[in-house]
Amino acid sequence: MPAALNSRQAAASIHDAFVAAGKEFFGVATDQGLLERGSNAAIIEANFGQVTGENSMKWGSLEATRGSYNWGPADFLAEWATSNGKLIRGHTLIWHSQLPTWVEGITDPAELTEVIQTHVATVMGRYAGQVAHWDVLNEILAEDGTLRDSVFSRVLGEEFVAIAFNAAREADPNAKLYINDYNLDRAGYAKVNGMVELVTKWKNAGVPIDGIGTQTHISGGMGAGVQAALEQLASAPVDEIAITELDIAQAPSADYTAVVEGCLSVAKCVAITVWGVSDADSWRQGENPLLFDGSFQPKQAYSDIVGTL
């Protein structure tokens, strides 16, 4: 085998094949520590077209202390992506988890509004023109499809949705702005119904939501149901849908290919991001859910996806 093939550890680029099939990108979550370890960087360079910061762009990572920013890991990711010709998904601006305690403690609506607007403007402004998609809001729905209880919903009701998206549009008018969530994998499920209903309401009220992100952390056997869920999400008046954090317990090839075929079959589904390169670094330890094993070797699912494309 040629040296270049050994460094990429896969015979063909999944991103190139996905783009040739008419989609925007096939990407992966990573961060500085991962890019500096093992074969992560070489595999991403060769096989994937986009990166998401697994943790580096979250509020708790960037501004644990009010007004004091830690840009190092996020800057590293952005610079690595730009120098290697990779698109970036910004993840995530507003999330109830990995949130600084000083934000959690805010009780005044005017103060929280200003804090949201400042955070969005500061982070998006720093990377304006570099980030293709931003997860403006992450996991704001409960399983019944209503707003999750958080400091944002408690203090501002659903007004925080418009506050965040309007600030985001102003900060980087060219970035695609997403609302992202998990358990959006089954058509007719209450959370899917709620997402479509709320996004439709917000869009009709002028909130600039461009896309819905479905994380797609699923178990084996669930892949076949993803297309119908994507079709339901696409019924909302958004421009696009993306699969943003894909991983599947034990990485069954049939499920991975079903998810990819589902995206191919739904015109609004523009991109897929898997939540890591190697099982060795997966947040789902012991479930082996990714496309490369712990030794950075591509699995059958990877080959079968490329074959499908």
Q: What pLDDT, in 10s, does the model give residues 78-135?
A: 999 999 999 999 999 999 999 999 999 999 999 999 999 999 999 999 999 999 999 9
**248: part of which helix (H) or strand (E)?**
strand 240-248
- Distance, in Å, from the CA atom of 115 to the CA atom of 151, rounded to the nearest integer, reads 12
- Looking up tokens 């929280």 gives 112
Mean pLDDT of 67-86: 98
Which neighbouring-strand residues pair with 240? Answer: 211
Retrieve residue 104's tokens. 């959690």
pLDDT of residue 288: 94
* pLDDT score at 4: 40
Residues making up the chain, counted from first to last: 309
Give the chain's largest Cα–Cα span.
63
pLDDT, tens digit (0-9, with 9 covering 90-100), for 134-171: 999 999 999 999 999 999 999 999 999 999 999 999 99
At 211, the pLDDT band (50, 70, 90 cuts) reads very high
pLDDT at 9: 54
pLDDT at 1 over 80: no
The answer to whether 212 touches 177, Cβ cutoff 8 Å, is no
Active-site amino acid positions: 139, 245
Instruction: Name the pTM for this structure.
Output: 0.95
Angle (CA) 170 174 175, round 5°: 90
Distance of CA 118 to the CA centre of its chain: 22
Of 101, 106, 96, nearest in space to 140 by CA:
96
